[in-house]
Amino acid sequence: MEDAVNDAVDDRPADAAPILVAIDGPAGSGKSSVSRAAAVRLGFGILDTGAAYRSLAWTATELGVDLDDAAAVAAILDDWEYRITLRGEQRVTVRVPGADPETDPADVTAAIRAHAVSGLVSRVSKHPEVRDRLNAMFRGIVAASGLPGVVIEGRDITTVVAPDAPVRILMTASAEVRARRRAGELAGLSHEQVLADIAARDAKDALVVDFFTPAPGVTLVDTSDLDFEQSVQAVVDIVRAVQRAAEES
């Protein structure tokens, strides 16, 4: 994976595995923006796993693949190349199977954030083989990062991708609060429209993951009554507390 900024340094052995901070949460909980800000403050990298699902949905659409066909979506991964920056401004590129090498890889950083793409994510993420293969890809990205630590946020992070991470956080917020936050980010959509979208997304996500009940060993951070700075500080405090405990032991 590409890295946009020089690696942070610490006093750990050069070949030490990155410290993992795993953060799950439903759409609109603030996990992406909070995770990125917390990673910067900690001197860690940030791996937004949702960007991979968005990129895969975008690729499937470009290829005309039925997103509900598990085998067809998984087949894309055989020749699909994905890159994302772990530090600095996020940049996402994909190499689309069979695409013209003159125009590939494609920079999809902006395209995957379109509202239309957001509505497709659950259709690709519901396939077990797709999740398994992307989860393996995420682990590889972290292992090869060369960073002192990586905050990983997205789907199945605390329970499947990094169940042994020393810090595991479930970040949530009420549907009303999440809709209000997302409405401010999505021009042209009313609060009611965004709330309906979030309710539908929650219902789809509930078929494959529980974003509201923390698994054993996972710390719950409810940001419903927290502003952005308070949410970031809550994550940083949890990470630093775990680091201090590890040093003392």
What are the b/e assignments for 35-62, b being 16+ CB within 10 Å?
bbbbbbebebbbbbbbbbbbbbbbbbeb
> Residue 27 annotated as binding?
yes
Helix ranges restricted to H, the chain? 31-42, 50-63, 70-76, 115-118, 121-125, 128-143, 175-185, 191-205, 228-248
Helix axis angle, 191-205 to 175-185, nearest 10°: 120
Torsion over CA: 8, 159, 114, 64 (sign): positive
Q: Is 28 annotated as a binding residue?
A: yes
25 in a known ligand binding site: yes
- 33 annotated as belonging to a binding site for a ligand: yes
For residues 134 and 137, what is the distance between their CA atoms, to the nearest angstrom? 5
CA-based nearest residue to 169, from 36, 31, 17, 40? 31
44 φ/ψ angles, rounded to the nearest 5 degrees: -105, 170
State the pairing for strand pair 219-222/167-172.
parallel
Compute φ and ψ for 172, nearest 5 degrees: -135, 175
Distance between CA atoms of residues 215 and 57, nearest Å: 28
Q: What is the edge-to-edge ordering of all strands in the sheet holding 106-107? A: 81-84, 92-95, 106-107
Q: How far apart are CA 18 and CA 133, in angstroms?
A: 21
Binding positions are 25-33
Binding positions for ATP are 25-33
